[in-house]
Chains A and B, each alone.
Chain A
């Protein structure tokens, strides 16, 4: 299994509170991605990174920001959590030389009350 961890694995928070989710990899992969998974929507890309300090928006980026100061860590911040951001969040990594397959972390279940 690809060495990807996410923390926390579960979180309950209140509306208006900032929340940061962490993705950590030990594979030295260049690309990292944050997705959210909601019933009926599949996986939707929030933000991604193509290198240290290089990030860009995905299709559902409003209300989220990211940072990547080291190859191994990719942080997702909900600036002011809303109930619509209740979801399961997955981090993924890929390396083009490895066939471009994305490998997924275990996920973080977030409940915003």
Chain B
């Protein structure tokens, strides 16, 4: 059974600081997805990582995938308040394109 662990689950950081969210998974996969969820809203796709060594960047967020280590990271650079949200990683590669989600990281960026 595929297990996906995110850490930390809660992250409070100051504006302007850098931090990394980690996503570890238990079985081989080369399909990793990052989503963002604002309070009371749906999930929005952020990044799709489909190969070992893949790196994607959008604004202050950068995601990477190391399939050998079964690890993806979401790096936040110079955080701003607008980045406050819950971030989920999800691992694919299963039958019928199913995804297994981590429990999410609640990020709060304080002024």
Contacts and interface: CB of A to CB of B under 8 A. Distances in A.
A103 to B, nearest CB: 7
Contact of B92 (A40, A50, A56, A100): A100
Given A42-B103, A99-B50, A100-B31, A50 B96 contact: yes
User: A interface, by DSSP: helix, strand, loop or mixed?
Assistant: strand
Interface residues of B, number: 22
A83 B88 CA distance: 26
A33 to B, nearest CB: 7
User: B interface, by DSSP: helix, strand, loop or mixed?
Assistant: mixed
Contacts, number: 51
B62 to A, nearest CB: 18
Interface in A87-113: 90, 94, 96, 99-107
A27 to B, nearest CB: 14
Contacts of B97: 31, 94, 96, 100, 102
Nearest to A91: B42
B103 A41 contact: yes
B102 A42 contact: yes
Contacts of B41: 106-107
A48 interface: yes
Contact of A99 (B35, B48, B103, B104): B48
Contacts of B102: 42
Contacts of A58: 98
A103 B45 contact: yes
A60 interface: no
Interface of A: 31, 33, 40-45, 48, 50, 56, 58, 90, 94, 96, 99-107
